[in-house]
Structure 1
């Protein structure tokens, strides 16, 4: 086996993370840098301030490499870096590849429509994804992965190349000259320029390797390659996904995307927009009284989870509907807490938030499993929420299935390292790489009594909520805007 190190670069909605692994799957060091809050110039618009994706990534790389050097390790033994950046964003670039406009985030309503130029954008030469932009900053190349083009892009997912259909380009209001060249996941995008090496601390000439969109990379890095295993990614956007072999272009309950394994597909059902962001929102709005206690060594989230663990399943009738960020097809929707009475405390609200996430995901995932004709046998949770024993148990109880987390929580970074390892010949196959880098940890077993209770709440109350609330929320939207 070739000796050396692999880097996983994972830039999400809220932070940039850079993790260095050895080829046995052991994490050697990590750099983490929070992103700045999104700029909201108007309702349902969202942009990343200044050049925040690049600045945060550079800082995270510097932190990881500083640790690497303190350990006295050989920079020449770093074989490659896999790059994964948040999906479903739009980046407008000048002819030289510099930002023409702040990066438009995936929560922005402009991305629900084809590209439209506005004179305020100035000199726009290229349109690309976040991964295309960061690839250019790292390598100087105008290249991107084929597997991060979701939404209004003329991408042929079966060929993993730009569409040859002129009508597809016309629908997206784009021309071939406006977009980057693309490569498949696991292929080299370019090598690190001296200028980028100075900004990041990574060694010049380092191969930068294409992955896929962030959820597909996370699925690869979670080990969810086996039939019946579904990954639930607990991020700002909470998604659920399984791997498949065919495009399934007629699917009604899920979307087929390019997977991080070339030629494979990732089936993803509808998720929860601003899912774990809602948990952070609750912490910031209602956890202030815990700040002094948290300074003793535990996070506010951990203390809230301890409180909520004492609340019975079902939160004694308190229900949370997760529409803090409404879907494009129903922009009038709002989040809701329903069922308050005198018993309810902050702990009930926090537990109800977590239960609402699990119930929402179960309803979306049931439709996907039924359409595929393959019931789920195990759930893997990834992301920061998987650190919570309470969240793990709630998912097990809602689904009635074993729910597992992995020892290393940086699933997207692991997926990046797997793609990089394949590109530089460190692994013989994706299966071998997954077995080496993905390390399972605890599995939580369902409580059957709680499972029956959640089923009753879901069938009789939770599923019909939108039918009853949508007419009222439409009227509220008309009144308040």
Structure 2
């Protein structure tokens, strides 16, 4: 009997639920967009009402509606959610207040117990695990940032209770990736359409699960994750602390780690923002050409020369935490550029910025990357893939399945439930790469020269943005 696995990918902009067979083939899929974040005052960014759970219910129901098999053929579900969120719960596990987004300033500070109704503090994965299973259990691999976690043992650190503001009796029980968190309750089954009693398996944070779903397994490969937050990652077995060019994150296997470079906040959000800003005329032209807007923009950007005739973008549409004065910028207009130069300039800025971050990380790790994997919605752009190959000067590839986090979650569930014997076997069986993109030498040489200029822009604009921030915020 074919066994099927459900991968839940609760991201920053939507929840995607995919049902795979044991070979990684997509059988059915559901997606539900998240509602816009609630920002009642500066620094506060919350998911409104019970939006995360509502979106999981809608996406699961859509995936189950398209599933052609019998419910008993589904072996289990892997749950992957947004990292760095914070959920404040009552004693019964219900929300005491809306879930704090990773963009909320409070998640970077110790917890302050201001509401006596709050009995537990957890991550988005902990909260959603409770909604699915009724258990107060969570994956250890989704606790980074201000949590009392020992990153060597992957267990709670009692000595860190005071510095994080989180007594251990307010926290969930921790389990390792691949362990069963619990089983889908009848109430959750009614909400999601998933079979009651279905095992729910712990995975990790969303970036780690995405990395596994892309097949990131060796230190000579770099993964660029094109999400709302864009970052690059490689893998290793050491818990390295105190690095300057990267930080160490939990991976999807117990006591393995990911090394993650600096990134771009609101990265692919900026691409969507520009697409919407270009407006109805571009939408109408795309419709006339028989293309969706993203594909039309890709076709037009391919006609813009590499380097965009000198137009460059700085992608601080959401400023770095350590430089809150920064803003996004386009520089280099001289009349040659049009709207599609703007679009390609953003794509080039993504690649140039991530090349700078990845190069810094590689130097500190004492390694070099001979291959780049690219994941996320932006990986579907041939122009983006070609730019990445050219900027990095090495072959670039993308996963054959465009929901890498969902595939990674299903893969971990399959290993945890014995569908596959271990992660290596599961990776071989379920993951494959799409067509590779090879660098064009003359473009690589151009981008190397442009990159030396691009990385210096903020040295010159910082003072201007500091001064303008005093006027406009």
CA deviation vs aligned residue, 1:382-417 (integer Å, no higher than 9, x gap): 111010000000001111110001211110011101
CA drift of 1:122 comes to 5.9
* Match in the other structure for 1:14: 13
CA deviation vs aligned residue, 1:293-342 (integer Å, no higher than 9, x gap): 44454221211111111111111011100101112111111111111121
Match of 1:369 among 355, 358, 362: 362
2:89 equivalent to 1:126: no
Match of 1:148 among 142, 145, 153: 142
The whole-number CA distance in structure 2 between the counterparts of 1:155 and 1:457 is 42
The whole-number CA distance in structure 1 between the counterparts of 2:396 and 2:137 is 38
The whole-number CA distance in structure 2 between the counterparts of 1:413 and 1:194 is 23
* Match in the other structure for 1:325: 318
Runs of 4+ in 1 over 6 A off after TM superposition: none
CA deviation vs aligned residue, 1:107-154 (integer Å, no higher than 9, x gap): 112222111234xx5611111100000000000001110011111001
Q: TM-score of the superposition, structure 1-length normalised? A: 0.96
* Match in the other structure for 1:196: 188
Tell me the secondary structure at the aligned position of residue 372 of structure 2. Answer: strand
In structure 1, the gaps of 5 or more residues are none
Tell me the secondary structure at the aligned position of residue 16 of structure 2. Answer: strand
CA deviation vs aligned residue, 1:7-28 (integer Å, no higher than 9, x gap): 1000001111111111122111
1:3-402 mapped onto 2 (5 Å cutoff): 3-68=2-67, 71=68, 73-118=69-114, 121=115, 123-164=117-158, 166=159, 168-295=160-287, 297-402=290-395
CA deviation vs aligned residue, 1:202-238 (integer Å, no higher than 9, x gap): 0000000000100000000000102311111111111
Tell me the secondary structure at the aligned position of residue 212 of structure 1. Answer: strand
The whole-number CA distance in structure 2 between the counterparts of 1:97 and 1:178 is 11
Question: 1:109, 1:328 within 8 Å by CA — same for their partners in 2?
Answer: no
Greater shift, 40-49 or 429-438, is seen at 40-49
The whole-number CA distance in structure 2 between the counterparts of 1:222 and 1:389 is 17
In structure 2, the gaps of 5 or more residues are none
CA drift of 1:432 comes to 0.7
Question: 1:95, 1:125 within 8 Å by CA — same for their partners in 2?
Answer: yes
The whole-number CA distance in structure 1 between the counterparts of 2:279 and 2:360 is 36
Question: 1:82, 1:210 within 8 Å by CA — same for their partners in 2?
Answer: yes
The whole-number CA distance in structure 2 between the counterparts of 1:203 and 1:193 is 9
The whole-number CA distance in structure 2 between the counterparts of 1:132 and 1:7 is 18
- CA-based RMSD: 1.2
The whole-number CA distance in structure 1 between the counterparts of 2:176 and 2:258 is 15
The whole-number CA distance in structure 2 between the counterparts of 1:43 and 1:281 is 20
